[in-house]
Structure 1
Amino acid sequence: MNEALRRAMANTRLTDRQLADACSVDVKTVGRWITETGRVPHARHRWAICEALGEEEEVLWPAAAKKAVKVGPDREVVSVYPYRSSCPASLWRTLITRAQRELTFAGYTNYFLWLEQAQFGTALRRKAAQGCRVRFLLGSPDSSLTRSREQEEDVALTLSTRIRVTLAELEKIRSQPGIDARYSDGHAYLSVFRFDDDMIVTPLLTHRVGHDAPTLHLRRHQSDGMFDRFASHVEELWNRGAPVREGEPHGQA
């Protein structure tokens, strides 16, 4: 019996059925997670469970968390996904919700976040009001690099259109102090999303859109490790970037 999981469900008054729905699994699977000794859900399900119950992974499955601890140079790599689209939406929600100091979205368009995260703008406004720094690093919709990448992607929903969607959404929330945006072309083939000491990194592949790109979930564990090097890259681009001014035209392609 996983007493920690059973107790967390009781504390939150979450039934087997409700947890199954939250994880998109059969209710019998939840029953096995609770009753079968040593039964550990897949990583994506553990994230969904932790989010639903408001608990830490090491509390619910201490043995699995201990086994996952690394000591080598790859210890900052939490998870690897062959596609960004296979990185669970629940992971993004959890990282956004838990961040207290910094949220940096250095994707070339950041368009998918507005589609996949419910009430994303409201969440960002709330985070900024609580003192969390919120930054967006975007490609310019009118740059020659954007036009070149549009030819590479050759999809109906162009990069410039996706950037303008993000600009339009940012326009709605930038009256809240603490939310800022800049343009940069330096991350056209590398998206970096930072949530305090967690990070999602996506190196974009030629002729592929972002959701097809391989994706890493990193967590900072050392100085000048992978996390710090990607963070420094983004800071350099931010310092060089051109401000996105409030009220800037964005409606026309």
Structure 2
Amino acid sequence: MNEALRRALLRAHLTDRQLAERCGVDIKTVGRWITETGRVPHARHRWAACEALGEDEAVLWPTAAKKAIKVGPDREIISAYPYRSACPASLWRSLITKAERELTFAGYTNYFLWLEQARFGAALQRKANRGCRVRFLLGNPESDLTRSRERDENVALTLSTRIRVTLAELDKVRSQPGIDARFSDGHAHLSVFRFDDDMIVTPLLTHSVGHDAPTLHLRRHQDDGMFDRFAAHVEELWGRGTPVWGDDGNG
């Protein structure tokens, strides 16, 4: 019995049939994945299942992951996506749910999170109430850089509007200790989202919006690796940032 796969299905609220449809296989095939010890699906089916369930291959099929294990400096790269929109919302939810120490959202607007994650504000409050540090690094909607990027993007839903939506949502949870927000222009072309020792990084391309940015899922495995360098970048920007709600960060 593949207990990890069975539990992942339960957490994702998916049936065997629904997973089979997502992976393009027969329902009996999914049944064999679950019940036959040591059975490993083809790579394309493993990847489709991982996306559908918001889990890592190393969790669901550790033997297959070990065969392809990385040992070089790129071992912190778990997954790569040509567009942020290709990174499944279930992965974001899984990373948010599992985080216990730190949630840092250093996107210039962070607008998409409120659209794609159900009851996102309530989830942040629960995390902060359990001792998890929750931070948002935002672009200033009134800055010259924001206006310049708006001209580059040239879309109807402007950058400043998207920032203000996030600010309005954050204002609803600002009374919860442990949730803080600051303005910064230093991450205008690089978004970094941290979930304990996991991270999603999206470098923005010229004349493109966030959901079109190439995206990396990183996991910390070494000192001064890719993860640590991006984390240090965010910490420096946070230290130089301007509090959104005043000096105490919570009103």
Residue 4 (structure 1) aligned with residue 2 (structure 2): yes
Q: Which is worse superposed, 61-70 or 189-198?
A: 61-70
Match of 1:237 in 2: 237
Cα distance, 1:188 vs structure 2:
0.2
Residue 25 (structure 1) aligned with residue 27 (structure 2): no
Shift of the 10–122 alpha-carbon distance from structure 1 to 2, 3 Å rule, reads closer
Secondary structure at the counterpart of residue 73 of structure 2: coil
Q: Which is worse superposed, 154-163 or 61-70?
A: 61-70
CA distance in 2, matches of 1:128, 1:59: 27
CA distance in 2, matches of 1:241, 1:195: 20
Which consecutive unaligned segments of at least 5 residues does structure 2 have? 34-38, 247-251
Match of 1:39 in 2: 41
Cα distance, 1:174 vs structure 2:
1.1
Residue 158 (structure 1) aligned with residue 162 (structure 2): no
TM-score computed with the length of structure 2 as normaliser: 0.87
Residue 86 (structure 1) aligned with residue 86 (structure 2): yes
TM-score computed with the length of structure 1 as normaliser: 0.86
The runs of 4+ residues in structure 1 deviating greater than 4 Å are 9-15
CA distance in 2, matches of 1:126, 1:214: 30
Counterpart amino acid of 1:207? H
1:179-198 equivalence runs, <5 A: 179-198=179-198
Secondary structure at the counterpart of residue 175 of structure 1: coil
- For the aligned residues, what is the CA RMSD? 2.6
Secondary structure at the counterpart of residue 221 of structure 2: coil
Match of 1:106 in 2: 106
Say whether the 8 Å CA contact 1:84–1:210 is kept in structure 2: yes
Counterpart amino acid of 2:156? A
CA distances 1:194-235 after superposition (whole Å, capped 9, x unpaired): 000000000000100000010000000000000000000000
Secondary structure at the counterpart of residue 245 of structure 1: coil
Match of 1:97 in 2: 97
CA distance in 2, matches of 1:175, 1:232: 28
Match of 1:141 in 2: 141
